[in-house]
Structure formats: structure tokens, C-alpha cells
Structure 1
């Protein structure tokens, strides 16, 4: 019971006294990576000069240089913030929403090659590099998923465009086909009218030729009758002469 009380006091008391340090906000700098050893950490700490920041969040000694991943493991950031006690063997991160250092309950460092202790200060998290490696891996995985998602979205968009183009092409071809086949009956009707006119002209011409032939026959018939009359008249005259 006493151990549990000490545990809660170690974790929650500093958290309450240091949470929401607004003076940390201007000191945030996004970096490509964090220090990997003590030498790099000291160099970065001197460059950041957190002891010169005017703040009322905590004591001067506890306002320390940190380099931590953000809450969503999207980037690393250097920040001057109140030092926290990290307990339970977890990796820390900087929470920009709360403006404070916090421990990641979903990222244990007990099983790392260099395991973290059950209790350590947040400003020396660089000693447990696998906390950063895991964060970097998570960032890369998220970036890969984001890239893959973008590629899938682009492919899907291109596929929809291709389908739309194919559908439009088929529609245009169908309309052209319908219009083309609608012209054929009109052409046939025109040809039929032409043939009908030709047949009518031919019939009329035939009738006219027939009428002319009949007329010619009729006209030749009187001439033949006149010859016969002349022949009969001459015959009669001859008979009369012989009789006399």
C-alpha cells in the first residue's frame, strides 16, 4: 500500500505542478532527429539555452532541454519544458495539446536492447534510443500508408476517368450508329420514288407509242380502201368497154 502511494505521488504530483507550461510553446523546434549520445545531448542543450527562458512553470533546475517525438509520432521536437518523472518503463513524448511532457503508455521500453528503468527523468530519454527508433518506424509506416493511400486514391480516380471515357465513347458510337441507320430508309425511299417515276415515264411512253401505232394503222386503212375503189372502178370501166 505504501509503495503504491509513493508511486502515485512520484508520477502525479510533478504532473499537476508542471502541466500546461505555456512558456514552452515559443521554444518548440521541429528537428529531423534527436541526440543519440551524451555528447550530442550536451551540445544541443547548450545551443537551446533553456536556463535563459523566462518562465513560471517550475524551478530553474527543472526547466530542462528535451528532444522527444510528438504525441502522434509524426515528428521530433526540441523543447524547453519542465522535467518529468517517467515511471513504469515507458517512453516519453511531448504533448503539444497539453504543453507538457508525458509518458506513452502504449510504448514500453523495458524490452529494448538497452531497457529503460522503472523510473527515470524525461530529459535523459536519449539514453534509450529505441524509443526514437520505434517512433521513427511508426512515422515511416504512417508515411508509407499515407503514400499508399494517395496512390490508391489516384489509381481509383484514374480508373473512374477511364470508365467514364469508355462509356462516353460507347454512347457516341451508339448515337452515330443509330443516325447512320436512320438515313438508309430515306435513301431507299428516294430510290423508290426515282424508280417509280422512271416506271411511270416508261409506261407513259409505251402508251404514247401504242397510240401512235394504232393511229398509223387507222390512217393507212383509208388509203387501202381508195386503191381498192380505183381498182373496182377501172374493172367496171373495162367491163363496160368490152360489152360495147
Structure 2
């Protein structure tokens, strides 16, 4: 408690100042009650009432329109404006489906001619004649080597016969036999005979080649034996082929052959 006279800070409970003995006036203690908590805010009902009013007005208008259009006081059909008639389609026309024509090579005939059996048989017969010529060349070359005469030319002919046999087999593989009776069996039979003939050529070549460097006495007899064995097999294959071939040859105006004529 501060003395109002001398300014001494006295005990709060003292009635007089300890220094100047002045009376200390105690101010009444004021208690301040805490402010009450704020009341919860209440929603503003004005917008809600206004919204409800607007909704009622809209419903009333809609009801009036409904009863006016569906009531007994039907004013009857109203004149309508004639719509212009359109002659064109209202939507884009759908393109008609197109078909792709097959591409035709102008160099290719429109139709394929029927296979000619005579022409196919003649092609086979030509291979048989070539085979006969190759066989004769081989026999002459073997004879020359056996006589130790003209060895270089004889060996060259045996090599050439091997190449000829391969060419003949390739021709038969690619030949058209669709019009020939049993055409595929004819192809297989002739190929077998020509294959054995080629193996005979290779055996005789192995027999003859050593003579080029070592003379006639250097001939490989085992090669000669292989050539003779394959030649025997070729003869059997030729005879089996001819049992199918000769009827086809006669039917197409060609001569019949024997195993020596192949």
C-alpha cells in the first residue's frame, strides 16, 4: 500500500503509514466476472425463406402452365410454320462398300491352258536320250583308261558325265508330270535310276584319276568295283522304271525303250 503523503510502500494490511503516520486509504477490491461465452450463431433464415419463396413461385408457374396446356380449355391446334422441304440428304451419304479387284499381270494369260500329256511325256523322253549319250561317253572313257590310251581326255569325259547326270536329275525334279498317268511314280523311278548312274560315274572316276599322275598301273581297283556295283543297281532301277514308262510312251506316240536305251 503506497502512502499518499510520503510515498512509502507500506504493508497492504496497515491502516497508517509507518513513516508519516498518515491514514492509508484502502481501495475496495473490484472483482471482474469473466465475460459470458458467446451465444451460438443462428443461421440467417432470410436467404432460406427467400429461396423457398422463389421455389414456390416456380412451382406455381409450372402448375399453371401444366393446367393451361392440359385442361379442358384446349385452344385447339395452333398454326405451325411449314418447314421447307429438303431434297438433299440430311446426313452425309455413306460411301458404298468397295471391292478390290484382283491384280492381274497383263503378261499372264487370263486362263491357264490344260496340261498337255504329250509335251510332258516328250520332256521325259528327251532326258532318257540324254542319259543314253552320257552312258556311251562313259563306256568309251572306261575303255580308254583300260587300254592306257588318252588318259587325260578319258578322265575329263568321266568328270563331264558326272555333271551331265546331275543336270538330268535336276530336269526330272522340275518337270511337270501333272498330265501323265502315274506321273509322280515315273519321276521317282527315273530319279532313282539316274542317281545310281551318277554313283557309278563317281566310282569309275575314282578308279581312273590316279592314272594321271602314276600311270596306268596306279588305277584304283576299289573305285572300279564301286562303279560296277552302282551300275548294276542303276540297271535294276531302269528296268523297274520302264514297266511304268513304256505304256505312257506308247499312249503318247513315243517308242518303247529297253534298259540299254536309257
Q: TM-score, length-normalised on structure 1?
A: 0.20
Larger helix fraction of residues: 1
Higher CA-based Rg: 2
Q: TM-score scaled to structure 2, two decimals?
A: 0.19
